[in-house]
Amino acid sequence: MGHPSRGSSLNNLSHDLQKRFEQTGHLEDLDESIQLSREALPLHPLGHVDCGFSLGILSGGLRNRFQQTGHLEDLDESIQLNRKALLLRPMGHVDRSSLLHNLGVGLWIRFEQAGHLEDLDESIRLNREALLLCPVGHPHRGASLGNLSLGLHVSFEQKGHLEDHDESIQLSREALLLHPIGHPARGFSLNNLSRGLRKRFEQTGHLEDLDESIQLNRDAILLCAMGHPDRGSSLNNLSLGLSIRFELTGHQEDLTECMSVSKQAAEDIYSPVSKCLLAVQNWVNFTWCHDLTQSNLDAYITGLSLISRSLSVMPMISLQYQHLSSVIKLPEFVSDGASQAIQLGQLTLAVEIIEQGRGLLWSELRGLRTPMDRLQALDPSLVNRDWFGHSLSDKRRLLHAQGDIIDRIHKVPGFETFLGRKSFGELKSAAKHGPVILVNCSWYRSDVLIILEQNSPVLISLVEDFYDQVETLVEQLTEARSLIKASPKRYNHVLRATLKDLWDLVVSPVVTKLQELHIPEMSRIFWCPTSILSTLPLHAAGPISHDNKKFLPDLYISSYTPTLTALIDAFNTTKLSSQLPRLLVAGQHDENLPRTKEEIHEVLQYQNHIPTTSVEGPAATKKALEQALVDHEWLHIASHGTLVPKEPFASYFSLAEKSHFTLLDIIRLNLPNADFAFLSACHTAEQSPDSVYDEVIHLAAAMQFCGFRSVVGTMWEMADVDGPEMAKDFYSRLLSDENVSRCNEVGAQARALSEAIKKMRARKGVTLERWVNFVHIGA
């Protein structure tokens, strides 16, 4: 410390570690390089002769790490540091060309992520300037040629200017000549030229271009040993070329090699997950086009494992959600994979796939609460080695070893599915209190799987265009809801038509099958819809008769569950003690919710039946609510509920002092005594239109996650007038003298809501959307 050469030594070691990472792909080298660069930077402030070098070294490390982890803040910081460094290298400076090169690469990568053409255009301009500074014989000329070639190739794909494409291929050939066998950049140059030739084949149909492209890719793979950071890209490019040539020639050897290469690319644990998922998508598309159903199913299963793996290296739930939103079309991917299993007659596997792919974020969060005590008692070495308690960097480095440890854990009795796909044998216990109706909504085929506790799944195949019809229903209902205040009659008409279509398309066949299975009327059923269907009110489908008065609630008591595991957990945590629950009533006093006081008054009418605490008005702060929840099993909250577009974890209940009780606040709670929550607010069981539907991220699901095994919520905006009436009818059923001793039994709240909705429907002037709004979730 304090030595005048310390900064230079740190930078030199950082530089060497980055070079070793580029050859080996070992992430610990990259992490250490960045750490050393950050330590060196304050030792070389502005004005120091080595300031530009320090900025450049750190920028390069962050850019490389972004390509491995996908953390956009690393890439943004890299570009910012590069711009600062470039200002210190004016025209004529010996290092200007390398900084132009690095900034151009960073901007091109950011263009790939965000799609902003100004980043691409600036990248090309910088690379042209860099090339001018690297004449024939310059050691960096090959890199400049390759980067400019790549930028022009992408520009052609975006804008269609043929001159960009021709120049790109010409530059790629020149770069390859400068990167002979043994040169570390030869693989990049081979891939670059291969990509350009394949694209030119697509334009001209000249098979010799495609043949050369494939051979160049094969050569590139030979230079990328297992663990090399470019191996996944090379495999992906070869897979694409082989699939195109097979389409043209029908040569079986191309098909066989394409399948093998796709599988290798998807399963390369050293490649960035984004590259692996791209390989899975190629694998899926190719096998689907050629009716290779079993291989197609294998691709989906591999993809689901990759998606789960990708979440484990992301430190924040917001990043995980962003990843799921952008990396792959998740709802379609899960449902399409299940449809392949159904096509092969593997119904239990279809159930397992849907469960694995739905609610991934909830599953990841539950994994953080996985009890390890029993595993430690059976095999302490698997827990004491702390494979799962390391930092984020350690987790990435131990990924391969972690797989070995998980394999060992799977051999311990009772842990066969630890952190993996749960077996149908476990999942069917979700149906212990009534059949679970899993509706798989896929563009390829759509089906219902009725899950019974003692039997295999029962299949109902739906109409061929089911997905298209559901998509139309969602669009029509969403549009009508956006205009509800201007045209309430139109909305009511669209909603009625939607409920009728839902009955005809899916609910009527389900009811017919339930009756064949001798499921008694007015018993409980549990809906678990997938993809876009999860936004529609299946629980209220109908009418079921010509008099237009009877709907599904007149036949069965419907509940929803986001996943089978969530329902199983809800049943397993149900409080069956004879002790009465303690009810917390919370609500804000707001002039825009004039009936809230009346609603709270109605709930408090039953404080002589069960222990009740009220936190309302100015006292109903976020802090007061969180503290009180610890000591109460039940919650009734009357408040504003608000969705935040594109930020589902920011959705919130409004409380006193203008505080927000957000979805993220809720999932941070751990309430072991929680049992039942009535969320008397708008949008509490609604996902925002831009959500990843199969993640089921809404306020009610968050309540269930933090411990409430039974929740009443709302599908959309709630009429203020319904608060007091619903509370009165609900609690008069649940806490009546004859029912209060059984008020915390499984199904008690669902039955109470069913009765309250029947009374609401019977009242004059109650529109369809008001009673359809209320839903029950959980046990």
For 537-549, the DSSP string reads: -GGG----STTS-
d(CA 244, CA 202): 9
Q: Where in the chain is the domain with CATH 3.40.50.1460?
A: 573-778
DSSP per-residue letters across 210-226? HHHHHHHHHHHHHT--T
pLDDT (0 to 100) of residue 385: 43
Sign of dihedral through CA atoms 729, 730, 731, 733?
A: positive
- 3-state SS, 111-122, equals HHHHCCHHHHHH
45: left (phi over 0), alpha (psi -120 to 50) or beta: beta
- Give the max Cα distance, the chain: 94
d(CA 142, CA 224): 19
Look at the block and give the residue holding tokens 């896929």: 442
Q: Say if residues 749 and 733 touch (Cβ distance below 8 Å).
A: no
Neighbouring CB atoms inside 10 A of 539's CB total: 25
pLDDT of the residue at 293: 83
**Checking DSSP bridges between strand 660-662 and strand 436-440, what pairing results, if any?**
unpaired
Rounded Cα distance between 26 and 183, Å, is 20
pLDDT of residue 185: 87
Q: Which long-range contacts (CB under 8 A, 24 or more apart) does 86-90 make?
A: 88/51, 88/52, 88/55, 89/52
Residues of the chain with pLDDT under 50: 368-375, 382-396
Give the contacts of 8 (CB within 8 A, at least 6 positions apart): 40, 50
**What class has domain 573-778?**
alpha beta
Give the bridge partners for 436, in sequence order: 451, 526
Q: Is 418 exposed, middle or buried (0-12, 13-18, 19+ CB in 10 A)?
A: middle
d(CA 298, CA 316): 30
CA distance 193 to 195: 5
**Cα distance between residue 532 and residue 177, in whole Å:** 52
Query: With left for phi above 0 and alpha for psi between -120 and 50, is residue 658 left, alpha or beta?
Result: left
Q: What is the 3-state secondary structure (H, E, C) of 278-306?
A: HHHHHHHHHHHHCCCHHHHHHHHHHHHHH
- Location of structure tokens 């090379």: 234
End-to-end CA separation in angstroms for the chain? 62
Kind plus residue range of the DSSP H or E element containing 613:
strand 612-616
pLDDT for position 173 = 96
Decide the pairing of beta strands 524-529 and 436-440.
Answer: parallel
Dist. CA 147–CA 188, nearest whole Å:
10
Place of tokens 């089906």: 447
Strands (E), 368-523: 436-440, 447-451, 458-461
Structure tokens at 717: 């905006």
State the pLDDT at residue 646: 79
Start-end ranges of CATH 3.30.420 in the chain? 427-563
Bridge partners, residue 439, by sequence: 448, 529
Q: Residue 619 corresponds to which tokens in the numbers above? A: 């006292």
Of 505, 547, 573, the residue nearest 746 (C-alpha): 573
The token pair that represents 427 in the structure block: 């999942």
3-state secondary structure of 608: coil
Inter-helix orientation angle 360-368/317-327, to 10°: 150
For residue 401, what pLDDT is reported? 61
CATH T-level fold of 427-563: Nucleotidyltransferase; domain 5 (3.30.420)
Nearest residue to 310 (alpha-carbon basis) of 294, 300, 322: 322
State the pLDDT at residue 399: 52
pLDDT value of residue 405: 66
691, 648 contact by CB (below 8 A): yes
Residue 683 pLDDT: 94
pLDDT at 579: 82
